[in-house]
Amino acid sequence: MYTSAVFNHIYGRFMLHTLSQLRSGELAGISQLKLSENLNTFPLEILTLADSLEILDLSNNALSSLPDELAQLTKLKIIFASQNQFEHLPEVLGQLPNLEMVGFKSNQIKQVAEHSLPAQLRWLILTDNLIETLPNSLGERPRLQKLALAGNQLTHLPQTLAQAHNLELVRISANKLTECPEQLLNLPNLAWFAFAGNPFTAVEPTTHSESYTKVKSVPELSSTSYTLENVLGQGASGVISKAHWNSPQSQFPEDIAVKVFKGEITSDGYPQDELQACLQVGYHPNLVESLAQVNEDNYLALIMTLIPENYQNLGLPPCFNSCTRDTFSQGFRLPITLISNIVSQMQDVFAHLHKNQVCHGDLYAHNTLFDSQGNIIFGDFGAATSYQMLTPAQQEKVKNIESKALNHFIDDLLSICAEQDKTTKAFDTLKAHISA
């Protein structure tokens, strides 16, 4: 979709501070601190904020350890330390009584100690590290809702995750898992699941599926066939720009957008898996249509139809408090007629995805655009997984997982229903559907 990534949405709200401000006492009493000054040691002056600090962002530094004194920050709820040089998850984190969110993306973490996970953990981000195993304590954190582990070296997951009954979103793409983790498939609240790019998802010549889904064939073009214009948006996996053809293309529409994928791995997995899923899904009137692909050395791109300007975002990404659930602009309301129309289209999209054996993994309002008539366009396949290689029983479980995301989508829309429409039959019908 032509929108910012979830984490960009979160990080963008933080003001960048300086070490000199901290040392001068200028930041006394603040609840949020963000420092990025190529730090290689933890500034102990941060401890002077122990009475107020709730969010600490030390991303984009050169840190490799945290001091035991960090345990003095008893009010700390959130810590980010992405893009640093940690080789293990600091055990001191497990001593913080109110810590709920831990983000150590893109380090060199190899070890996660049994006692490094705080008791109140809700949201763990360890994307793009070198982790081979995880401790059993991960499944013993009853509040855990969100788990981002894409881009590691995991060969298995703790069996204790079977008791993580509040877990709602999991990213395990781009690892080395040889078997589908059954302990996740049976979780009662799992709704958003990304698992592409593992050995167990490789398509074998013989498959458990009786009707193997073939990937849609689209032309392969050169990157010189178009010129990128203004950026329309960017997410975890790439940058989407408006573009124009450098010469007339009779078989394609004149107005196009191009998604240029970032690097070898993203927050959700491998770009190649996203491209595979997009093409496997094929055409649907409510999906962004794939027209062609570009596959050159160090350059992977997808050429798509350009979404008309009269479409706008239906929702906003989750916030810290909502964790897994979408948010909406303050005061944003929709009539039940529009909500019913949107839901009907999304239900049809859901059926189309799973008919083609693709789990979207990110079925959210913030990945949906709509116009004034309630027509929708759904996109962002960064977390999508082709699942035709799974057994029929596993495929059914994957579909059931995503059906929970669809129910949450409906529930979120009902939360922004116009007040006068909450007593209508249409409202009751949708409410009954998600309660069934």
Which tens digits make up the pLDDT trace of 186-202? 999 999 999 999 999 98
- Region 225-244: what's the mean pLDDT? 91
Residue 1 lies in a domain: no
Query: How much of the chain, in percent, has pLDDT values that exceed 70?
Result: 94
64-78, 214-228, 310-324: range with lowest mean pLDDT: 214-228
The answer to whether the beta carbons of residues 296 and 288 sit under 8 Å apart is no
The answer to whether the beta carbons of residues 179 and 155 sit under 8 Å apart is no
Residues 292 and 326 both lie in one domain: no
Residue 216 lies in a domain: no
* Cα-based distances in Å from 220 to 255, 385, 392: 18, 22, 33
Residue 326 has a pLDDT of 96
Residue 208 lies in a domain: no
- Judge whether residue 254 has pLDDT over 60: yes
Instruction: Count the domains in the chain.
Output: 3
CATH number (domain holding residue 428): 1.10.510.10
The structure's pTM equals 0.92
Residue 77 lies in a domain: yes
Residue 283 lies in a domain: yes
Of the residues 283, 305, 327, which one is the last residue of a structural domain? Answer: 305
Q: Are strands 256-261 and 238-245 parallel, antiparallel or unpaired?
A: antiparallel
pLDDT tens-digit series, residues 131-165: 999 999 999 999 999 999 999 999 999 999 999 99
- Region 104-125: what's the mean pLDDT? 97
Residues 254 and 168 both lie in one domain: no
Residue 175 has a pLDDT of 97
- Judge whether residue 205 has pLDDT over 70: no
User: Would you place residue 7 in the very low, low, confident or very high pLDDT band (cuts 50, 70, 90)?
Assistant: very low
Identify the residue with better confidence: 5 or 136: 136
DSSP annotation of 349 reads: H
User: Would you place residue 213 in the very low, low, confident or very high pLDDT band (cuts 50, 70, 90)?
Assistant: very low
Residues 245 and 131 both lie in one domain: no
Residues 109 and 31 both lie in one domain: yes
Helix (H, G, I), strand (E, B) or coil at 10: helix
For tokens 């791995």, the residue is 265
- Judge whether residue 3 has pLDDT over 90: no
Residue 209 lies in a domain: no
- Judge whether residue 403 has pLDDT over 90: yes
* Cα-based distances in Å from 144 to 64, 96, 99, 406: 25, 16, 12, 21
User: Would you place residue 174 in the very low, low, confident or very high pLDDT band (cuts 50, 70, 90)?
Assistant: very high
Residues 363 and 413 both lie in one domain: yes
* Cα-based distances in Å from 422 to 2, 72, 104, 261: 31, 48, 42, 42
- Region 172-177: what's the mean pLDDT? 97
Query: How much of the chain, in percent, has pLDDT values that exceed 90?
Result: 84
Query: Is 259 annotated as contributing to ligand binding?
Result: yes
Residues 329 and 234 both lie in one domain: no
- Judge whether residue 35 has pLDDT over 50: yes
Of the residues 241, 275, 305, which one is the last residue of a structural domain? Answer: 305
- Judge whether residue 262 has pLDDT over 90: no
For tokens 């949020």, the residue is 32
Residues 18 and 34: their CA atoms lie apart, in Å, by 8
Residue 209 has a pLDDT of 43
- Judge whether residue 129 has pLDDT over 90: yes
Q: Which domain holds residue 366?
A: 312-435
Of the residues 262, 283, 305, which one is the last residue of a structural domain? Answer: 305
Residue 218 lies in a domain: no
User: Would you place residue 13 in the very low, low, confident or very high pLDDT band (cuts 50, 70, 90)?
Assistant: low
pLDDT tens-digit series, residues 310-344: 999 999 999 999 999 999 999 999 999 999 999 99
- Region 99-126: what's the mean pLDDT? 97
Q: Compute the half-sphere exposure of residue 146: CA atoms within 13 Å on the CB side of its CA.
A: 21
User: Would you place residue 215 in the very low, low, confident or very high pLDDT band (cuts 50, 70, 90)?
Assistant: low
Residues 194 and 106 both lie in one domain: yes
- Judge whether residue 421 has pLDDT over 70: yes
Residue 230 has a pLDDT of 95
Residues 197 and 236 both lie in one domain: no
Residues 147 and 48 both lie in one domain: yes
- Region 407-411: what's the mean pLDDT? 98
Residue 233 has a pLDDT of 85
Residues 180 and 328 both lie in one domain: no
Q: How far is CA 302 from the centre of its chain?
A: 20
User: Would you place residue 204 in the very low, low, confident or very high pLDDT band (cuts 50, 70, 90)?
Assistant: low
Per-residue b or e along 58-71, where b marks 16 or more CB atoms closer than 10 Å to that residue's CB = bbbbebbebeeebb
User: Would you place residue 10 in the very low, low, confident or very high pLDDT band (cuts 50, 70, 90)?
Assistant: very low
Please provide the average confidence, as pLDDT, over all residues in the chain: 92
Residues 327 and 269 both lie in one domain: no
Is the torsion defined by CA of 156, 274, 166, 398 positive or negative?
negative
CATH number (domain holding residue 168): 3.80.10.10
Residues 18 and 152 both lie in one domain: yes
Residue 388 lies in a domain: yes
